[in-house]
Amino acid sequence: MTMHRWTILFGLLLVAIGLGGYYFADAKQPMALIPAVLGIAMFVCGVVAAQGAMRMLAIHVAALIGVIGFVGPLVALFEDTANTAAVLAKGLTSALCLMFVLMCVNSFLEVRRARKAGKNTDEKEELNTDEQDLIS
């Protein structure tokens, strides 16, 4: 699966965490929707990357959103330990964003190695097969 699809998936998961944290928390506070906002931004980056024109920029912006989504909740995780829904939402957000950032770094390194070796990357091959399907 290519990174733009993973970006869309992680964006949807973050939206689910944000909405779940908001609706299942005792006090409905707008701060619980922060993972959903991060998820929407990540989803938009994935959709833009799927178009192909600004793929590299969109995935790099999504990786930056992932870093923010990892560090932000991790810092605030230990401040409010009384509300278990908030702790769970912050922990899940931080863990998901860490996994996404690690996947991005791995993808960036694979693309760099492939470029040095002169090979096509998975994304280029996918674009080439799509273009061949359009031609035939």
List, for residues 87-106, the tens digit of each pLDDT value: 888 889 999 999 999 999 99
Identify the burial level of 86 via C-beta atoms within 10 angstroms of its C-beta, where 0-12 means exposed, 13-18 middle and 19 or more buried. Answer: buried
Identify the burial level of 40 via C-beta atoms within 10 angstroms of its C-beta, where 0-12 means exposed, 13-18 middle and 19 or more buried. Answer: middle
How many beta carbons lie within 10 A of that of residue 117, not counting itself? 7
Region 96-121: mean pLDDT is 88
- Comparing 67-71, 117-121, 132-136, the range with the smallest average pLDDT is 132-136
Show the tokens assigned to 37.
């906002």
Query: If phi over 0 gives left and psi between -120 and 50 gives alpha, with beta otherwise, what is residue 52?
Result: left
Region 49-76: mean pLDDT is 91
Per-residue three-class SS string for 88-107: HHHHHHHHHHHHHHHHHHHH
Q: What are phi and psi for residue 64, nearest 5 degrees?
A: -65, -40
pLDDT tens, 3-62? 899 999 999 999 999 998 888 876 678 888 899 999 999 999 999 999 988 899 999 999
Residue with the larger pLDDT of the pair 133 and 55: 55
